[in-house]
Amino acid sequence: MSKVHVFNAGPCLLPQVVYDKAVEAIKDFAGTGVSVLSISHRTKEWDAVMDGTRALWKELLNIPDDYEVIFLGGGASLEFLYVPMNFLEKKAAYVDTGVWAHKAFKEAKGLGNAVEIASSSDKNYSYIPKGYEIPADADYLHITTNNTIYGTELKEDIDCPVPLIADMSSDIMSRPVDVSKYTMIYGGAQKNVGPAGVIFAIIKKSALGKVSRYIPTMLDYRTHIDKLSMFNTPPVFSIYVMYETLKWIKSMGGVEAVHAMNEKKAATLYGEIDRNPLFVGTAAVEDRSIMNVCFVMAPGKESLQDEFLAFAKSKGMIGLKGHRSVGGFRASIYNACTQEDVEALVACMQEFEKMHA
């Protein structure tokens, strides 16, 4: 089979070494003679994976001692409910930067007093709002740092006068993060740190237990912190693959080194989009994501969209079709996407340009 270049928005491309480790573990997990798909989560071999995964999160992101990392099922979409359930007492503030940010706001609004303090919906979420006022009486501010559908990203940790909670599903581990600026960071693993089926949550423990409402046992973060993410059977296989993915990030030099590679990939691809007369980027230049590169055919060239998608597919480019709500193209260049993959896409775009010169 010829080389394929995977640009899927999620589940993400993972490093080959992670696939290889996963296959080995499916056959025989940690020398137990039992597949990781069938291993009991009440064994010392599994305890070692859980301990190792938590330790890698803390090491790679320099997580302070008063935070805990937990792993849950349900996807980041379930966290949209978990967050207000655990932190919303009087009022929560939300910044609307895309589909997932808006869904998070909707869940909070259904549970209590949630207010939208800024939005970029007026320009189809093509930029990150700036200069908005954060209510001093808010229990927390919720942000979505990277917007996969629209290709915008908040690239720095903001200073926030109230507890800050961030959905980092699609840019976690892609850049250094000052965890101390956040009360909580959460996200699905399937963009950068593993397969679908598990979420990560980094939580400041002292911030919990402040709401007066009853919190159902399974929706109380304290339950999962107390039981080390094993109150019920965890998503074992997904956590194992996450463990191997974090080991790979460490082997690459850590988050700082991976960030440098991500910036180079993004600069290469955006450079071609800006140079090539057939294409144009859709996100505000200052807010362009280094994870999800969104672009369309240039004005007057729209009729070439389907032809380019077919041509790119013939060249081994997988997953370039833009989200149905925006159309065009999207190249997701998460951590495991290589410079070689990006350069292959650039070469494909240049060849298509010559065909239509």
| pLDDT tens track for 199-215 | 999 999 999 999 999 99
* pLDDT category of residue 326 using cuts at 50, 70 and 90: confident
Q: Which active-site residues does the annotation give?
A: 100, 167, 191
Q: Counting beta carbons within 10 angstroms of the beta carbon of residue 33, is it exposed (0 to 12), middle (13 to 18) or buried (19 or more)? A: exposed
Contact (Cβ atoms closer than 8 angstroms) between residue 94 and residue 252: no
What is the location of CATH 3.40.640.10 in the chain?
Answer: 16-251
| pLDDT tens track for 233-251 | 999 999 999 999 999 999 9
For the cut 50, the answer to whether the pLDDT of residue 1 exceeds it is no
| pLDDT tens track for 56-74 | 999 999 999 999 999 999 9
What is the location of CATH 3.90.1150.10 in the chain?
Answer: 254-355
Q: Which fold has domain 16-251?
A: Aspartate Aminotransferase; domain 2 (3.40.640)
**Which residue carries 């013939």 as its tokens?**
314
Alpha-carbon distance of 341 to 267, in angstroms, equals 14
204: CB partners within 8 A, 6+ apart? 66, 67, 163, 182, 183, 184
The whole-number pLDDT of residue 325 equals: 80
271: CB partners within 8 A, 6+ apart? none
For the cut 50, the answer to whether the pLDDT of residue 349 exceeds it is yes
| pLDDT tens track for 144-159 | 999 999 999 999 999 9
| pLDDT tens track for 92-125 | 999 999 999 999 999 999 999 999 999 999 999 9
Q: What value, to the nearest 5°, has the Cα angle with vertex 264 and ends 263 and 270?
A: 85
- How far is Cα of residue 15 from the mean position of the Cα atoms in its chain? 16
CATH architecture, range 254-355: Alpha-Beta Complex (3.90)
